[in-house]
Amino acid sequence: MDFKEFKELVFSAGKEQGLSDMEIYATRSKAFRVKAYQEDVDDYSLSVVQGIGFRGRYGQKVGYAYVETLDEDSVSFLIAKAKANAQIIDSDDEIEFFAGATNYPKIEAFNEILAELPTAEKIKSALDLEKYALAADERVSMVNWAATGYSEGEVYIANTKGLEQSFRSNGAYGIVSAVVQEGEQVKTGTRYFFGTDWSKFDAKYLAEEAVQEGISLLNAGTVKSKDYRILLRYDVARELLGTFASVFSAENVQKGLSLLANKLNTDIASPIVTLVDDPLLVHGGASAPFDGEGVATKTKKVIDSGKLTTYLHNLKTAKKDGVESTGNASRPSFKSTVSISPTNFFIQPGKKDFNELVRELDTGLIIISVQGTHSGADSVSGDFSLGAYGYLVEDGEISKPVDQITIAGNFFELLQNVEIIGSDLEFDVPGSFGSMGSPSLIIKSLAVSGD
């Protein structure tokens, strides 16, 4: 049975059971992963899975249910459970089912060449990652991750108001993590590639970069606890952006869970900061023609030269605010209810490359990794205190590696304190809450704890 046939069955059974509006949000995905260890394939995984999320209106309220098989049992489970769940809802939020747009943007996110990439090629790439990492330096004691993977997915959404859309995408990745050792000192360095164009994957480059980073951290020490001028490398900057992206959600604003309430059209960031949500980005990891409610997506600036120009909306929050949905309804999985998330979300790059930023920093710390964003950051208050490592910079030159420190600050203050933006914008591997991007940023000051 395909999604379309299943949908017909569910909708007609639901109607008999007294459900009015109904919607199916279904996904199907195929994935492959191979891991190399000691010059051989160590771990090999393949999968084909599907899932069907259902929501239906009973009376005024909407209940959710999901299943993973397309059969008669699933039809009755979805109807019965969605109905039962609708009956416990107290919230008066008006949930709208979208009838469909007249036009959807055209997005090419499925690369046929990538889909045909032979398994042998992916295996060789994983083996290469390990081989080049081991060969890069004699201090490499082991390669604890050398893997490549491929996945493709289809999203199908249809409802009783007439909406019916689907979208396919695929992507591949390679990851290498090397352990380097000198005496008792152990450090790791990790690099990865993600994209739809495998010709851009360069195993030797990734492996050598990962090893180089590990080596550069050997003999790291801590620094004195005080405030430092900070250079956040692009990957750390985008990780922080992702950690606090929920503050731009209109849902959080309306619920009093975002300090950006009442801040529209005011300056919330340094005038050099422009933050963009671009679901139409060519080769973007989170690009899609429609959002989790079937609304057509569009590009918008969320912060324009320091000014907050919009929140991210779905249909429900837009209605409450009397605006149009920004096309940011999100279904992180078929199991999830409709929420809000950015798509390809990034800070617009400036002109200076990373080396120029190091010189501009003059004296301060470069942070190349933070740990604990899931626990040491509070998206409501914006406060963060995170484990970190990187390098000390003195007189515009890297003078030594630094570890066992924490950096602490507040996201809202950090936005105001961006002094220089680099040119090195790079996007992270897309997750269920969008794909984050940032160039490296110089921040006026953060509290650093060390000795």
Partner 1 sequence: MLNERLVTDVLLAALSSGGDFAEIFAEDTFNTSIKMVDGAIEQGVSGRDYGLGIRIFLGFKSVYAYTNDTSRDNLMKVALEAAAALKGTTHIKSIVLARECFHKHHPIMLNPNYVKEKDKVDVMKQAHHAASNYHEQISQVIINYLDKDQKVFIANSEGLMIEDRRVRTRLAINSIATKGNEKQSGFNGPGAHMGFEFFDHIDVREYAEDASRSGVTMVNADYAPSGKYPVIIENEFGGVIFHEACGHGLEATAVAKGASVFAGKIGEKVASDLVTAVDDGTIPNAWGSQNIDDEGAKTQRNVLIENGILKGYMIDKLNARRMGMDPTGNGRRQSYKFAPTSRMTNTFICAGTSTREEIISNTEHALYAKKLGGGSVNPATGEFNFAVAEGYIVRNGKIEKPVRGATLIGRGSDVLQKIDMVGSNLATGQGMCGSLSGSIPADVGQPTIRVSELTVGGRKEAE
Window 360 to 419, contacts with partner 1 (CB under 8 A)? 371-372, 374-376, 378, 380-381, 383, 385-387, 403-410
Q: Give whichever of 37 and 110 is closer to partner 1, judged by the CB atom.
A: 37
Rounded to 5, what percent of the chain is helix, strand, coil?
25, 40, 35
Tokens representing 297?
């997506």
Under a CB-based contact definition with an 8 Å cutoff, are residues 161 and 180 in contact? no
Tokens representing 111?
């690369």
Query: Is 84 an interacting residue with respect to partner 1 (CB under 8 A)?
Result: yes
- Which residues 56-75 are close enough to bind partner 1 by CB under 8 A? 63-69, 74
Whole-angstrom distance, CA of residue 323 vs CA of residue 253: 14
Whole-angstrom distance, CA of residue 382 vs CA of residue 238: 15
- Which residues 146-175 are close enough to bind partner 1 by CB under 8 A? none
Please provide the distance, in angstroms rounded to a whole number, between the alpha carbons at the two ends of the chain.
63
Minimum distance of partner 1 from residue 344's CB (angstroms): 25
- Classify strands 435-438 and 329-330 as parallel, antiparallel or unpaired: unpaired
The identity of residue 119, as a single letter, is T
Query: Is 48 an interacting residue with respect to partner 1 (CB under 8 A)?
Result: yes
In the list 91, 102, 103, 199, the residue contacting partner 1 (rule: CB under 8 A) is 91
Q: Give whichever of 40 and 112 is closer to partner 1, judged by the CB atom.
A: 40
Query: Is 5 an interacting residue with respect to partner 1 (CB under 8 A)?
Result: no
Query: Is 282 an interacting residue with respect to partner 1 (CB under 8 A)?
Result: no
Query: Is 262 an interacting residue with respect to partner 1 (CB under 8 A)?
Result: no
Tell which phi-psi region holds residue 70, choosing left (phi > 0), alpha (psi between -120 and 50) or beta: beta
Q: Give whichever of 55 and 307 is closer to partner 1, judged by the CB atom.
A: 55
Q: How many CB atoms lie within 10 A of CB 398?
A: 14
Radius of gyration of the chain (CA): 24
Query: Is 106 an interacting residue with respect to partner 1 (CB under 8 A)?
Result: no
Query: Is 4 an interacting residue with respect to partner 1 (CB under 8 A)?
Result: no
Minimum distance of partner 1 from residue 208's CB (angstroms): 19
- Which residues 290-349 are close enough to bind partner 1 by CB under 8 A? 335-337
Instruction: Write the interaction track for partner 1 spanning residues 28-47; mark x where CB under 8 A is met and - where it is not.
Output: ---------x--xxxxxxxx
Whole-angstrom distance, CA of residue 398 vs CA of residue 318: 48
Under a CB-based contact definition with an 8 Å cutoff, are residues 87 and 124 in contact? no
Under a CB-based contact definition with an 8 Å cutoff, are residues 121 and 199 in contact? no
- Which residues 204-223 are close enough to bind partner 1 by CB under 8 A? 222
Q: At what angle are helices 203-216 and 119-136 packed, to 10 degrees?
A: 30
Q: Give whichever of 121 and 324 is closer to partner 1, judged by the CB atom.
A: 121
- Would the CA dihedral through 81, 164, 335, 252 be positive or negative? negative
Query: Is 225 an interacting residue with respect to partner 1 (CB under 8 A)?
Result: yes
- Which residues 108-147 are close enough to bind partner 1 by CB under 8 A? 141-142, 144
Q: Give whichever of 305 and 337 is closer to partner 1, judged by the CB atom.
A: 337
Query: Is 239 an interacting residue with respect to partner 1 (CB under 8 A)?
Result: no
Whole-angstrom distance, CA of residue 231 vs CA of residue 236: 10
Q: Give whichever of 164 and 378 is closer to partner 1, judged by the CB atom.
A: 378
Minimum distance of partner 1 from residue 396's CB (angstroms): 26
Q: Give whichever of 60 and 87 is closer to partner 1, judged by the CB atom.
A: 87
Minimum distance of partner 1 from residue 84's CB (angstroms): 6
